Amino acid sequence: MSADIIDGKAFAEGLRTRLAAIVADFRAKAGRAPGLAVVLVGEDPASQVYVRSKGKATREAGMESFEYRLPATATQDEIVALVKKLNADDAVDGILVQLPLPAHVNEDLIIATIDPDKDVDGFHVVNVGRLSTGLHGYVPCTPLGCIMLLRDRLGDLSGLDAVIVGRSNIVGKPMAQLLLAENCTVTVAHSRTKNLRDVVRRADIVVAAVGRPEMIRGDWIKPGATVIDVGINRVPGAEPGKTKLVGDVAFAEAAEVAGAITPVPGGVGPMTIAVLLRNTVVAAHRRAGVPLAKGAI
């Protein structure tokens, strides 16, 4: 293996340590802690685990965690009413509605109900527009975490050729906007891209977010490239009945060629919750009128 391993878990822990110190300072100045409200509708096991992890991380950072759990039978109007209540709650700086929602609920409508200045997930169309036009807004947590890892690894990204494989609203599209803002030359590739291997092979930076296990092979990677693997796929393990997590990149193959690569697990995944806390802390400072030192987080 020749590639350096980009340790997202260690980076995220460092970010959360910095956040805890900033939260303590904010509490002293504002007389309260930043508050994050998470709404979970239904009993999806993966969502329940994720919400518990968010709550634990929020409290460990010294922040207020507000959790609202509604049954899968909750009506759209009931969810909208809860979100509006949280919009008006001065103790709440960030609102996150855990996706996916039950099939009878219009996710776009629920997201559109969130106050854009409390939309710490960065999914509201106002924040999407702010990102695309270079204005301040809240950026989806996973792409912002990827940019943090890239800056830490490479420093100045100007002029680098970046290829994103995947065009989702949650990762691919905002990732493209963030890389453009870093002065990269950006290509967004997807399942219908012709000669995908050749497109990926010219990239200095590869961001894999296509949701297909180990789709991107080692011989697709330009020697020395930096590979950010956003994929989290559960596949059969070596033992019968066991599973394991793999990314969208064939890690062992790519690690022989790349200059640096994120592992799965332990790469991008830990960054998502850390950046969610970061966005909430930024929102709290803005809402309270408390200055936040530039570059602090």
What CATH number does the domain containing 80 carry? 3.40.50.10860
pLDDT, one tens digit per residue, over 180-239 is 999 999 999 998 999 999 999 999 999 999 999 999 999 999 999 999 999 999 898 878
How far apart CA 15 and CA 272 sit, in angstroms, is 11
Angle between helices 8-30 and 269-288 (to 10 degrees): 20
Would residue 291 count as lying in a domain? Answer: no
CATH code: domain of residue 236 = 3.40.50.720
Q: Are 167 and 186 in contact (CB under 8 A)?
A: no
Q: Please tell me whether residues 161 and 261 are part of one structural domain.
A: yes
Amino acid at residue number 17 = T
Angle between helices 172-181 and 125-133 (to 10 degrees): 30
Would residue 278 count as lying in a domain? Answer: no
Residue among 93, 72, 114, 128 nearest 283 (CA): 93
Q: Are 171 and 140 in contact (CB under 8 A)?
A: yes
Would residue 103 count as lying in a domain? Answer: yes
Would residue 48 count as lying in a domain? Answer: yes
pLDDT, one tens digit per residue, over 269-297 is 999 999 999 999 999 999 999 999 877 88
Residue among 197, 175, 174 nearest 254 (CA): 197
Would you mind telling me the total number of residues written for the chain in this entry? 297
Would residue 295 count as lying in a domain? Answer: no
Q: Please tell me whether residues 93 and 196 are part of one structural domain.
A: no
pLDDT, one tens digit per residue, over 13-47 is 999 999 999 999 999 999 999 999 999 999 888 88
Q: Express as a percent the part of the chain with pLDDT over 90.
A: 90
Q: Which residue has the tokens 């001065």?
A: 90
Q: Please tell me whether residues 146 and 103 are part of one structural domain.
A: no
Per-residue pLDDT, 291: 93
Q: Please tell me whether residues 261 and 153 are part of one structural domain.
A: yes
- For residue 8, the number of C-alpha atoms closer than 13 Å in the C-beta half-sphere is 29
Domain that holds residue 113: 29-117
Q: Please tell me whether residues 189 and 242 are part of one structural domain.
A: yes
Distant-in-sequence, close-in-space partners of 272: CB < 8 Å, separation ≥ 6: 141, 142, 145
Q: Please tell me whether residues 146 and 240 are part of one structural domain.
A: yes
Residue among 133, 140, 92, 87 nearest 110 (CA): 87
Would residue 123 count as lying in a domain? Answer: no
Q: Please tell me whether residues 111 and 163 are part of one structural domain.
A: no
What is residue 37's three-state secondary structure? strand
Amino acid at residue number 221 = I
Per-residue pLDDT, 111: 98
Amino acid at residue number 143 = P
pTM tops 0.75, yes or no? yes
pLDDT, one tens digit per residue, over 153-164 is 999 999 999 999
Q: Please tell me whether residues 169 and 112 are part of one structural domain.
A: no
Q: Please tell me whether residues 107 and 173 are part of one structural domain.
A: no
Would residue 39 count as lying in a domain? Answer: yes
How far apart CA 290 and CA 117 sit, in angstroms, is 15
Which residues in the chain belong to E strands, given as ranges? 4-5, 35-41, 64-70, 94-97, 161-165, 185-189, 205-208, 226-229, 233-236, 243-246, 260-261
Q: Which residue has the tokens 């219908």?
A: 192
Per-residue pLDDT, 243: 87
How far apart CA 216 and CA 271 sit, in angstroms, is 22
Q: Please tell me whether residues 153 and 265 are part of one structural domain.
A: yes
Query: How many C-beta neighbours within 10 Å does residue 25 have?
Result: 14
Q: Please tell me whether residues 87 and 169 are part of one structural domain.
A: no
Would residue 174 count as lying in a domain? Answer: yes
What is the distance of C-alpha 254 from the center of its chain?
Answer: 23
Q: Which residues are catalytic?
A: 54, 98, 121
Quick one: which H or E segment has residue 9? helix 8-30
The tally of domains found in the chain comes to: 2
Q: Please tell me whether residues 145 and 89 are part of one structural domain.
A: no
Q: Predicted confidence band at 1 (pLDDT cuts at 50, 70, 90)?
A: low
Residue among 123, 131, 129 nearest 177 (CA): 131
